[in-house]
Structure 1
Amino acid sequence: MDARAAAMLVALLLCAALPAARASNVALCVRNCAQCKRMFGEYFEGELCADTCIKYKGKVIPDCEDIGSIAPFLNRVE
């Protein structure tokens, strides 16, 4: 098997392993992190939020208006 065929096989397996619904949840989660970062600026840990989206595969989606969903990503800037 040549390198191109192997790369295509890996891409196919990755696509099959990650259902579209899960991928869209991760994308929605990351977009919400970006929106919260724009809203709260330096008080919001956007990178940590996005990393959490990826780590948990979008199972918990942050809502910028729900303090409970974004509390782990808020910080005090002094």
Structure 2
Amino acid sequence: MISNKTVFIGICVLILTVVNNAPVEASPQIELMGGYDIIGICITNCAQCKKMYGAFFEGHLCAEACVQFKGKTIPDCEDLSSIAPFLNKMN
């Protein structure tokens, strides 16, 4: 007869095997043509700055600038000169 401990260990091994073999979907910001998705990186940085600065940061304006200028100026949340156009003063 098989002990309960052996059955439990077998079930745990089965679960770990299924979990480790599950397909993982990654979403790297690399274009199919071999370059980086600069606009995607730009918009991601805008979202990060919005999280950091909250109401002081105009995230939608930043994202619009990414699309309009095709990601030529990527905002860096720690470089105030790169995000200055998107900051506002709160009263």
Q: TM-score by structure 2 length?
A: 0.61
Give me the CA root mean square deviation.
Answer: 1.3
Structure possessing the higher relative contact order (Cα contacts under 8 Å, 6 or more residues apart) = 1
> How many corresponding residue pairs?
59
Structure 1 segments unaligned to the other structure (5+ residues): 1-18
Name the counterpart of 1:16: none
Name the counterpart of 1:42: 55
1:37 positional shift = 0.1
Structure 2 segments unaligned to the other structure (5+ residues): 1-32
Question: Which residue type is aligned with residue 54 of structure 2?
Answer: G
Seq. identity, %: 54
Runs of 4+ in 1 over 4 A off after TM superposition: none
Q: Deviations over 1:25-45 (max 9, x none)?
A: 000000000000000000000
Bigger fraction of residues in helix: 1
Question: Which residue type is aligned with residue 21 of structure 1?
Answer: G
Correspondence list, 1:1-78, <5 A: 21=35, 24-78=37-91
Between structure 1 and structure 2, the one with the greater Rg is 2
